[in-house]
Amino acid sequence: MNDDMKARMDEVMSKWNSLEGYTDSTSSSNGGSSANTNAVPKYNTRANGKSSRPSGPFNGTEDRNEAMSHAREVLERMLGRKLAPDAEFGHSDNFSDLASDLDNNLRDHNYNFDDDDDDDGGQTGSADHEERDVVRTEAVENSDKPKKDEISHKLYQEELKNVNELEIHNLPGRGRGFIAKKLIKPGSIILKVKPTISTLQNQHLKRICHGCFLTAEERSIYVSQNERERLEKKMRGELKLKLNRCASCKVLHYCSKECQISDWSLHKHECVALQRFRKMYYNTYPNHPSKNDSDDLTWTDPSNETVRALARIIWKRKDERDKNGGKDGLWWKQIASLETHINRSPEKEMIKLAQQAQHLQHYLSASIPLKSKSIEEENRLDPVNLKDFGFANVNEVMRFCSSFHVNSFTLSSPSLSPIGVSNSPLMALSNHSCDPNAVVVFPNGGKFMELIAIKDIQPNEEILTSYIDLSCPYSIRQRDILERYRFSCNCTLCEKGKSDENWVDPRWCVKHIGCKKGEQGKGKMPDKGLIGKISIKCDTCDENFEIDSHRVLSEVQRGVDLLDQDEIGQLKYHEAKKEIKTLIPTLQKHIPNCSYPLLSLLRLSSLVHTPPQTPSDLDISIRSIKAAYEGSLITYPKNHPISTICLAEYSKLSSLTDSEVLPKLHIKSIREKSISSMLEAIELLNKSIKSTNISFGIENKGGIVNKEMKGILFGCQSELDGIRSKFGP
Ligand SMILES: [Zn+2]
Ligand SMILES: [Zn+2]
Ligand SMILES: [Zn+2]
Ligand SMILES: [Zn+2]
């Protein structure tokens, strides 16, 4: 980089730092996270794939096989028979045997969860299971009209006290769901609830407050009355941008005393457990280089956010039972009444659940204070007796884990980056659609989970949210829903492909290059395994065009592989940068920006190039996010927060001005170029401010992202004034 360029980048960086607020890719306090810990923000409202990964019991990965076989043993003992040697996903005889065995088992144990699996918790579509079909047929015959579910209204009376927009209904064949009581306009907050519990993913523990789930920067935006003043304070270094650490465990961080106190009733148990694990880890590795580095949290790896969330719910339950003479509170009944899929889970899943239950027993055990300080006692971790925590047996714990798995939500930052897991039994009653009319977001941090309308919802219409990534084509959506939620989706979008043969899904298509009717011409993606040139019909000009199917499909596969790696957290961002550089232009030759996997890759590309380190990084990240924004408008429903965040990111990057403005130009052209790019940024910022107002709730005034955009707008306007006074009007 030459000196001019370097100076230019320094300027970009200092500008970026003054703007930085909501992206997850930059660090805030305490050194923060590295970008490669984040998968491309997918925004599924239900818990993302990550939290569903099994968390191994205390053994590290090297002991995983042993742990799996132990979990298997537990399960086999429970069932009183051997499991198939290699239990796979699917609907084998083994699976139905297992389901009926478990059913009997549960009946024998006088289970205190709701026994009727099929009737509870919300989802649309039908599970791939005979029982459910029977339930559905009967339900349809018995009732023409959906009915208000009085029992649920009693169960949630506290939460629904001031809610006039919706009612909980028992919907034929779909369990419980939300029905609109009046016309709801886009941008309305339909429901706002305090999550029962939320926990952060380990990699965010140091940079996000465990009380409000905001970074120090986001918090400062949230509390500021005047964004311009805040930015000025920040430039002068007068803003407190550090979180405080819990002095006992040195793991959780808080932005304020208030947040620490609000979290203490549950953290007090967790705090003891965490201290114990740190000790156990360093007893095992006494010469570990990070032994005296309290900032190092690698030892927290074995217990992910899901285990910590489950433990928090169990402690909450126990505290309440201890207070009320062994009686459960109403909120526990809410949790216990949610749907589980344990009867429909394949053996592989059952083993994972058994494993998780074991892990929990150890985790809870670590929260019991030690009697002595001997190393032997420190290192001995006997599993707790779950009866002491209100569970009758292991089945019950497994069922609880399974229910959490199906009903929990991804905790996301105000700008939709996944940061943890969150739980609200009431919110979990919303059913799924791949073309939703509402979204679940956290516009002002994790203290409140909000259901916001993105379309007009008519009286008596069902309020639907999406559980999965909407940019995926039909087959991937169906696979994801079946694997995790065990039903097949028959929403309007999923049915569209079946009912209209000529419909080309923008999520899974190829471009008609040279289409007479313009840029939009597209045709269906060819089937897997096709080789050679094939002819495809364009949906815009109706003519046939040829593509090299093998070539297109193999490029698409490269993209899918990259996203899969990102999903499981195995993508190294510097490698991804190289790969993406060649892959995106190649894919753009064949498929439009709205199609899978290009849309997700474009967002990933912008993420890995942000904050920009070189002028070319800045160019790539702006071009990627612009293309992603345009694609998102086609793929996502109108007003969807993903499009809004793409636009916010695009306008924020544009405000860093055009990197092509290098000193070689005439003063006159610098002026013109700078002014025009500033004006463009201002236009984008205004558009993005408007759009946050709807996607994150009108009453929220668009939440933290909106406030941040307004701050950047101030900055751009004063920069524009500066350019004009420097170079003349
Ligand atoms: Zn806080
Ligand atoms: Zn602590
Ligand atoms: Zn669907
Ligand atoms: Zn065409």
Report whether 198 contacts 451 (CB < 8 A): no
Using DSSP's 3-state secondary structure scheme, residue 432 falls into strand
Q: For residues 118 and 141, give the distance between their C-alpha atoms in angstroms, rounded to a whole number.
A: 17
Ligand 3 centroid from CA 433, angstroms: 5
Ligand 4 centroid from CA 623, angstroms: 25
Q: What is the pLDDT of residue 65?
A: 55
Q: Of the bound ligands, which one is closest to the alpha carbon of residue 521?
A: 4
Q: What is the pLDDT of residue 371?
A: 83
Residue 672: pLDDT band (50, 70, 90) is confident
Q: For residues 221 and 223, give the distance between their C-alpha atoms in angstroms, rounded to a whole number.
A: 6
Ligand 4 centroid from CA 506, angstroms: 14
Residue range 89-105: mean pLDDT, rounded: 35
Amino acid sitting at position 496 = K
Q: Which of 678, 591, 692 is nearest to 642 (CA)?
A: 692
Ligand 2 centroid from CA 249, angstroms: 4
Q: What is the pLDDT of residue 85?
A: 54
3-state secondary structure string across 31-77: CCCCHHHCCCCCCCCECCHHHHCCCCCCCCHHHHHHHHHHHHHHHHH
| Whether the predicted pLDDT of 137 surpasses 50 | no
Q: Quick check: bond before 611 cis, omega within 30?
A: yes
| Whether the predicted pLDDT of 117 surpasses 80 | no
| Whether the predicted pLDDT of 457 surpasses 70 | yes
Q: Tokens 């609880």, residue?
A: 400
Residue 598: pLDDT band (50, 70, 90) is very high
Q: For residues 91 and 80, give the distance between their C-alpha atoms in angstroms, rounded to a whole number.
A: 21
Paired strand residues for 193: 449
Residue range 680-689: mean pLDDT, rounded: 96
Amino acid sitting at position 14 = S
Q: For residues 524 and 592, give the distance between their C-alpha atoms in angstroms, rounded to a whole number.
A: 12
Ligand 1 centroid from CA 203, angstroms: 17
Q: What is the pLDDT of residue 95?
A: 33
Contacts 24+ apart (CB under 8 A), 622-626: 622/650, 622/653, 622/654, 624/584, 625/649, 625/650, 625/653, 626/650
Ligand 2 centroid from CA 543, angstroms: 66
Residue 89: pLDDT band (50, 70, 90) is very low
Q: What are the pLDDT digits (tens) for 512-545?
A: 999 999 888 999 999 887 788 999 999 999 999 9
Report whether 493 contacts 435 (CB < 8 A): yes
Ligand 1 centroid from CA 550, angstroms: 52
Q: For residues 727 and 676, give the distance between their C-alpha atoms in angstroms, rounded to a whole number.
A: 14
Residue 72: pLDDT band (50, 70, 90) is low
Q: Of the bound ligands, which one is closest to the alpha carbon of residue 214?
A: 1
Q: What is the pLDDT of residue 234?
A: 86
Q: Tokens 């009007």, residue?
A: 729
Q: For residues 109 and 397, give the distance between their C-alpha atoms in angstroms, rounded to a whole number.
A: 12
Q: Of the bound ligands, which one is closest to the alpha carbon of residue 223?
A: 1
Using DSSP's 3-state secondary structure scheme, residue 522 falls into strand
Q: Which residues surround ligand 3, an ion (CB under 5 A)?
A: 434, 489, 491, 494
Q: What are the pLDDT digits (tens) for 357-410?
A: 999 999 999 999 988 878 888 888 888 998 999 999 888 999 999 999 999 999
Q: What is the pLDDT of residue 622?
A: 94
Ligand 3 centroid from CA 640, angstroms: 16
Number of other residues whose CB lies within 10 A of the CB of residue 677? 20
Q: Which residues surround ligand 4, an ion (CB under 5 A)?
A: 512, 515, 521, 538, 540-541
Ligand 4 centroid from CA 677, angstroms: 34
Q: Which of 312, 305, 338, 306 is nearest to 197 (CA)?
A: 312
Number of other residues whose CB lies within 10 A of the CB of residue 446? 25
Q: What is the pLDDT of residue 4?
A: 66
Using DSSP's 3-state secondary structure scheme, residue 189 falls into strand
Greatest mean pLDDT among 130-139, 437-446, 558-567, 662-671: 437-446
| Whether the predicted pLDDT of 632 surpasses 90 | yes
Q: Which of 402, 367, 364 is nearest to 54 (CA)?
A: 402
Ligand 3 centroid from CA 496, angstroms: 9
Q: For residues 581 and 188, give the distance between their C-alpha atoms in angstroms, rounded to a whole number.
A: 40
Structure tokens at 284: 């095992």
Query: β-strand 197-200 against 418-423: which pairing, if any?
Result: antiparallel
Q: What is the pLDDT of residue 641?
A: 97
Ligand 1 centroid from CA 155, angstroms: 30
Instruction: Report the chain's mean pLDDT, rounded to a whole number.
Output: 82
Q: How far is CA 13 from CA 8, 38, 236, 610, 615, in A?
A: 9, 21, 16, 10, 11
Q: What is the pLDDT of residue 69?
A: 66
Q: What is the pLDDT of residue 79?
A: 57
Ligand 2 centroid from CA 267, angstroms: 6
Q: What are the pLDDT digits (tens) for 329-356?
A: 899 999 999 988 887 788 888 888 999 9
Kind plus residue range of the DSSP H or E element containing 330 = helix 330-336
Ligand 1 centroid from CA 445, angstroms: 9
Q: For residues 334 and 321, give the distance between their C-alpha atoms in angstroms, rounded to a whole number.
A: 15
Q: Which of 352, 404, 361 is nearest to 199 (CA)?
A: 404
Structure tokens at 485: 């939620």
Ligand 1 centroid from CA 150, angstroms: 37
Q: For residues 244 and 608, give the distance between their C-alpha atoms in angstroms, rounded to a whole number.
A: 29
pTM of the shown model: 0.84
Listed range (242-251, 402-411, 434-443, 573-582) with the worst mean pLDDT: 573-582
Q: Of the bound ligands, which one is closest to the alpha carbon of residue 476?
A: 3
Ligand 3 centroid from CA 523, angstroms: 21
Using DSSP's 3-state secondary structure scheme, residue 166 falls into strand
Q: For residues 274 and 281, give the distance between their C-alpha atoms in angstroms, rounded to a whole number.
A: 11
Listed range (136-140, 165-169, 248-252) with the worst mean pLDDT: 136-140
Q: What is the pLDDT of residue 141?
A: 43
Ligand 2 centroid from CA 371, angstroms: 19
Q: Of the bound ligands, which one is closest to the alpha carbon of residue 477?
A: 3
Listed range (111-120, 159-168, 699-708) with the worst mean pLDDT: 111-120
Q: What is the pLDDT of residue 90?
A: 29
| Whether the predicted pLDDT of 62 surpasses 50 | no
Ligand 4 centroid from CA 533, angstroms: 17
Ligand 1 centroid from CA 211, angstroms: 5
Ligand 3 centroid from CA 494, angstroms: 4
Q: What are the pLDDT digits (tens) for 210-231?
A: 999 999 999 999 999 888 888 8
3-state secondary structure string across 455-471: CCECCCCEEEECCCCCC
Ligand 3 centroid from CA 221, angstroms: 37
Ligand 1 centroid from CA 261, angstroms: 10
Residue 657: pLDDT band (50, 70, 90) is low
| Whether the predicted pLDDT of 96 surpasses 70 | no
Q: How far is CA 130 from CA 269, 299, 438, 633, 636, in A?
A: 43, 45, 30, 39, 33
Amino acid sitting at position 303 = S
Ligand 2 centroid from CA 251, angstroms: 6
Q: What is the pLDDT of residue 2?
A: 64
Ligand 1 centroid from CA 442, angstroms: 14
Q: Of the bound ligands, which one is closest to the alpha carbon of residue 447?
A: 1
Report whether 36 contacts 571 (CB < 8 A): yes
Residue 27: pLDDT band (50, 70, 90) is very low
Q: What is the pLDDT of residue 32?
A: 29
Structure tokens at 438: 């509402």
Q: What is the pLDDT of residue 75?
A: 65
Q: What share of the chain has pLDDT > 90, as a percent?
A: 57
